[in-house]
Structure 1
Amino acid sequence: KELVHLVKLEGAEFVEGLRRVFKFETPEIHDMDKLAWFRDEEFARQTLAGMNPLSIQLVTELPIVSKLDELKYGPADSLITKELIEKQINRIMTAEEAVAQKKLFMLDYHDLLLPYVHRVRKLDNKTMYGSRTLFFLADDGTLRPIAIELTRPKSPHKQQWRKVFTPGSGYSGSVTGSWEWQLAKIHVLSHDTGYHQLVSHWLRTHCCVEPYVIAANRQLSQMHPIYRLLHPHFRFTMEINAQARGMLICADGIIEKTFSPGEFSMEISSAAYDKQWRFDMEALPEDLIRRGMAVRGEDGKLELAIEDYPYANDGLLVWDAIKQWASDYVAHY
């Protein structure tokens, strides 16, 4: 009832309603360092252990190039060049060596978001860019951000606009440059949070399971061993999704009111399904391999590209346990 009432609120009343309904505990890291959110180290750590650790990927080749139509969106090449990369890593190695040694990683929301930039910008109090964020894996095993590229595509009236921001933007004496770097990180976090909710959560966790729930109920007897195996995992999924369609992802629902893409949120989710979702790549090991975050060794075990990757480390333990249990169950029949 609280959520239904919340959807009907607007403006300041809606914000106050959110605070009343959703009371989250302060993260422990905030108790230790109240400015942790401000620091580059924490910004990078969140890509591995934060809300959305499912997007970071290994950079496997340079230059970085968009797959979008240049005539429609502008030049495809990224402004994050080899020269810029080498400058940001203090020339301890060449950009090619960094790629070969699996030192460069990226959050890439460029091609997914760029087609929606102008449409979102027409909404009240909204803005959007396409973004690429590059990270360097230090010798101590931690990531640090070295560049953020924000892009606005070309339009009938304007040429493409794009700019690269770096951690050293303000070190040359410009306070403005330092704050531009912080603002660039905020844009990336907005993209990353939206992707988590619209793709990692709604699309991959809720939406894409529906066909299998429906098929299992239509095609399998309730006494079938596979049905009995799947039933606890499918239970309540359709009901939860129906409720979400009624107040979360519907027109003028909570998602459209609170997420930066506004009314285009679910369209972006659908675009991600079209361009990114593949059934044979959704298993955790295959997803890690697809993103270059792991390789399969000769013994069949995964070797992570970043050792301190909590999502992968913990997730694979759970995955292996479930796989073993399910395999033993099926083998019994």
Structure 2
Amino acid sequence: MLVVYKVTVYTGDAAHASTFHNVYITLVGTGGQSESVELTSWLPSFHERSVKNCKVKCSKPLGELLVIILRKEHHILFPNSPWFVAKVEVKSPMGDIYLFPIYKWITDCEEHYFREGSAVLFSQEKHDITKLCWTKDIVEQQRLYNWAEYKSGLPHIMEAETCSALPLDVRFYFTKELEMAYTAVKALVELKLVELAECKEKFRSIEDIQCLYSCHRTEISDYVHDHWKEDSFFGYQFLNGVNPMVICRCRALPQNFPVTDEMVFKGSNQRLKDEMKKGNIFLCDYKILDGVKANIVNGKQQYLVAPLVLLHKTPDDKLMPIAIQLKQTPAKDNPIFLPTDSEWDWLLAKTFVRNADFNLHQLSFHLLRTHLLAEVFTVALLRHLPMMHPLYKLLMPHTRYTLMINFLARKLLISDTGVFTRFASSGGEGMLTILREALSSVTYRSLCLPDDISDRGLEDVPNFYYRDDGLKLWNIIYRFVKGTLSFYYKDDKMVQDDQALQEWIYAIYSNGFTSEKKTDIPMRLNTVKELLKFVTMVIFTCSAQHSAVNSGQYDFIGWMPNTPVSLEGPPPSRKGEATEATMLDTFPSIDVTVHGMATVWLLSKQSSDSEYLGNYPEQRFTDKVPLEKIKTFKQQLKNLHKQIKKRNKRLELAYTYLDPKVVENSVSL
């Protein structure tokens, strides 16, 4: 007597996911396996978003279902048609439902083995056929994904000569690809700046810059436009602007920054030593930029400084700049600028700081610490963790589009002909110098928000919304990671014995942190606690941290005087000489400004197919506990959104970049 298994096959919603091929399935259980059964007819049964119901007849029950084997045959008219399989469900004659989450493109006509969807560690596999699934998956992934050296001394990248050489599984959906091409071409058009893109003239007045800015405005960029000259807003940006990563509490002045009480507290009974003891003095030190060779743009030498900035928290909780030294070595031609200097001296000094902040932010805190590290996390995951591993299921949503967006960034932004290379102060040779120096300064603690905030002494700084929202997000992510992974790792020994996990963490260490400098990045994980913290860091880096340093770029950089991408005049060496004309001569030319605006507009523009934190349309987990943890995770993110929204209503300038409603799951833009 025949027994019937009901099979439901879901084709994904990616464009071109359909197949005209004949598709065959084999069911494998503890009691045997079925014949290879054809699931298709001549018609394209497996078209985009389709749900196909089929039957597999067997001479006897197969026992507990373990594996399905899928294979498609070449079609004479469509010999290389790929097929995106979302998932397969099988209902046994006894009524048991077996889920097989796949979410992969099948591009060849080989047999593909997929294990039943419960997450499992290799040590828990009891059957040869499921162990074979591990082996086949890893072998195939390591064939598809390989490391390559981008530049000596920098994190390794995914090996691919062209976008089309990237595996289909990590490429944009067709609609996203069209959208990216459209926006790249239309950025200047939509900003109404096409006719100025080649104009190498200088601005004649601040009002001239207004004409560019008026083409595209946001609520925050309008605020920036109105307040960019103010000291309080200059200080605010170190906390809640696009780069809240430099500022530290200052307990003792650096020896190369000889600020005196007479300079900053003239006519007052306040003393620097006392204010530092109270925790009211803060320092921003851009020493990584010291000695960096500045770019040449349009045949003109550009300038980049390595400033030191001292700030004072006032009784009304404002962070006010009180001293700026534009170069690291004290000298007569390197004066310390003060708010009591002339208007243009002080504004010019602040402008050089903002340009330095832009270059360090883009290369160290944006490109290196989110994009490049996210690529390392992704390639290590794909090479060393098979799809049935719980960590694979947990982290895959946080790798979406990362490999392709990074490929495009290297091609369009930082290549020899890229926008950043051509127009930024640090483009070209300087860019690589900064990246290498920045990588050597990366520590594990600096990637973990609670440790980083503590190490920088910023636990109790008022009005620090990046910290407030970021720590809440970190804790929500940590609880989610703990609830999920603790279900699979019952004790430390399970972590130590998980060879796939250890290979993953070592691949991150060896390919991501190539500097000879001793680092605290772990090479191995020995406890469940260590695992939970590291995975939290990975998810936070790929989602929240990227949002914090990426999403506000146009808001704070769109009005060029607030954050010039390059500067054409040298830093002032004497006081009392700067004028508005000096400032205009120092600002970049019109074409540099236009390309800078278009680039940050494009980088800040949300995609139409964004997936936000906690939204996992690909249901990779099938176990009850992780599914419950995902529901809890989403609810906690929703609650945080409400808290942030309520808080922002009372703020003069809302901080939105860590609102879960706008934080994407992955580095995808």
TM-score, normalising length: structure 1:
0.78
Q: How many equivalent pairs are there?
A: 288
1:194-252 deviations in Å (ceiling 9; x for gaps): 22211111111111222222222222111100111111112221111111111111112
CA distance in 2, matches of 1:211, 1:122: 32
Q: 1:108 aligns with which of 273, 285, 303?
A: 285
Q: 1:250 aligns with which of 406, 415, 434?
A: 415
Which residue is equivalent to 1:198?
Answer: 363
Q: 1:146 aligns with which of 314, 317, 322?
A: 322
Partner SS state of residue 168, structure 1: coil
Which residue is equivalent to 1:168?
Answer: 340
Paired AA for residue 188 in structure 1 = V
Partner SS state of residue 145, structure 1: strand
1:187 Cα deviation after fit: 0.5
Cα pair distance change 1:15/1:205, threshold 3 Å: farther
Which residue is equivalent to 2:268?
Answer: 91
Correspondence 1:211 to 2:376: yes
Partner SS state of residue 321, structure 2: strand
Partner SS state of residue 308, structure 1: coil
Q: Which has the higher helix share?
A: 1
Please, which runs of 5 or more residues in structure 2 have no aligned partner? 1-180, 189-193, 201-210, 489-669
1:309 Cα deviation after fit: 0.2
Which residue is equivalent to 1:57?
Answer: 248
Partner SS state of residue 134, structure 1: strand
Partner SS state of residue 307, structure 2: strand
1:108-163 deviations in Å (ceiling 9; x for gaps): 11x211211xx317662401222011100111211111011112769xxxx88411
Q: Percent identity?
A: 28
CA distance in 1, matches of 2:435, 2:384: 29
Which residue is equivalent to 2:486?
Answer: 331
Correspondence 1:269 to 2:430: no
Which residue is equivalent to 1:13?
Answer: 197
CA distance in 1, matches of 2:468, 2:199: 37
CA RMSD after TM alignment: 2.9
Which residue is equivalent to 2:294?
Answer: 120
1:275-332 deviations in Å (ceiling 9; x for gaps): x2112331111111121212xxxxxxxxx2x121011011111111111111111112
User: Is the CA contact 1:46–1:52 (under 8 Å) kept in the aligned structure 2?
Assistant: yes
1:21-44 deviations in Å (ceiling 9; x for gaps): xx753334736x853111111111
Partner SS state of residue 334, structure 2: strand
CA distance in 2, matches of 1:95, 1:224: 55
Cα pair distance change 1:228/1:15, threshold 3 Å: farther
Please, which runs of 5 or more residues in structure 1 have no aligned partner? 66-76, 170-176, 295-303
User: Is the CA contact 2:289–2:360 (under 8 Å) kept in the aligned structure 1?
Assistant: no
Which residue is equivalent to 2:495?
Answer: none
1:14 Cα deviation after fit: 4.9
Which residue is equivalent to 2:75?
Answer: none
Paired AA for residue 292 in structure 1 = G
Paired AA for residue 263 in structure 2 = L
Instruction: State how 1:241-320 maps to structure 2 within 5 Å.
Output: 241-263=406-428, 264-274=430-440, 276-294=441-459, 304=460, 306-320=461-475
Paired AA for residue 187 in structure 1 = F
Regions of 4+ moved over 6 Å: 4-7
More divergent stretch after superposition (276-285 vs 97-106): 276-285
Paired AA for residue 26 in structure 1 = T
TM-score, normalising length: structure 2:
0.40
